[in-house]
Structure 1
Amino acid sequence: MRRNALSKAMITPSDFVGRWNIARVIDDKHAGGQAHFAGTALIACKDKDWVYSETGVLEISGIAPMQAERTYLWRPDDAGFDIFFDDKRFFHRFDLDQESQARHWCDPDQYEVQYDLSKWPSWQSTWIVLGPKKNYVLKNRYSLSETTVD
């Protein structure tokens, strides 16, 4: 079945395997500005832990654009993913509901995420991050890349 023909009820972990375009906006209420990230994420099957690796360019007002990258481990099951940092510490759960929510406490900061799969195969995550020195909303929009995965 073609990816763009999938119904929301039929989304499975394997549908995430491949290359995704990412458009990210970070609205930093603490610093009073916005940052933008544009890049790609590659989700690849590697044994029981899949690798999510993103790379792109981060633009912050008043600072020269910089290369940015991040890697996570995604452990799939029938209902979604347990997501871990690249050092294998647990981060959060991503269920494949149309609107999945999760929280992560990283003392002294609270991270809350909502995943939205309602426009599949485009999808997004919205993070709200609050702490003594943090107050921002980070929105990721993912769309299928035209580039094939080797």
Structure 2
Amino acid sequence: MADFLGAYAVSRRIADRLSGGETTFEGTATITADGSGAIYKEVGALQMGTGTFTAERSYLWRPAGARIEVAFADGQPFHDFDPDQGGQATEHLCGADMYRGGYDFSEWTCWSLRWDVSGPRKDYTSVTWYVRR
């Protein structure tokens, strides 16, 4: 997990197949050690349609053997991943919407995360790129 600690420029594109629109996020993320693993926090500008909003979110990263477990800020589980291999992250069912995601570390120290989300209320792909600062 120590390899991830630091600051990143973050760029996200969300292609919504229901509306045909695109949402973007440009900002920064920091991953800082805490007593149990690390805290991921991102802050930036979210552009939706003609409006731009300040957005932020946090996750808890915890070691789990060779994997990293990612939880929401309130401690509820989200997914896990293998930092040595990337690839498919654990699927996450949120209500009736299924999140299927994967990490790509092939250009380390830059990396990306892709989520394909489908369900009765959601149908989009989100791709986030991280570039170490």
Check whether TM > 0.5.
yes
Sequence identity percentage: 39
Q: Which residue of 1 aligns with 2:13?
A: 25
Give per-residue Cα distances to partners, 1:115-143, cap 9 Å, x unaligned: 00001011000000001010000000000
For residue 69 of structure 1, the aligned residue among 38, 46, 56 is 56
Give the secondary-structure state (helix, strand or coil) at the position aligned to 1:92.
strand
Larger radius of gyration: 1
Give the secondary-structure state (helix, strand or coil) at the position aligned to 2:45.
strand
Give the drift of 1:49.
3.5
Q: Runs of 5+ in structure 1 lacking a partner?
A: 1-12, 146-150
Partner Cα distance (2:100, 2:72) in 1: 16
Pairing 1:93–2:105 present: no
Q: TM-score of the superposition, structure 1-length normalised?
A: 0.84
| Residues 80, 20 of structure 1: alpha-carbon distance in 2 compared, 3 angstrom cutoff | farther
Give per-residue Cα distances to partners, 1:73-110, cap 9 Å, x unaligned: 00024523101001101111111143321210112100
Amino acid at match of 1:52: Y
Q: Which residue of 2 aligns with 1:83?
A: 70
Q: Which residue of 2 aligns with 1:39?
A: 27
Pairing 1:107–2:95 present: yes
Structure with higher strand content: 2
Give the secondary-structure state (helix, strand or coil) at the position aligned to 2:108.
coil
Q: Runs of 5+ in structure 2 lacking a partner?
A: none
Structure with higher helix content: 1
Amino acid at match of 1:96: P
Aligned structure 1 segments of 4 or more residues deviating by more than 6 angstroms: none
CA RMSD of aligned residues (A): 1.1
Amino acid at match of 2:92: H
Q: Which residue of 1 aligns with 2:127?
A: 139
Q: TM-score of the superposition, structure 2-length normalised?
A: 0.94
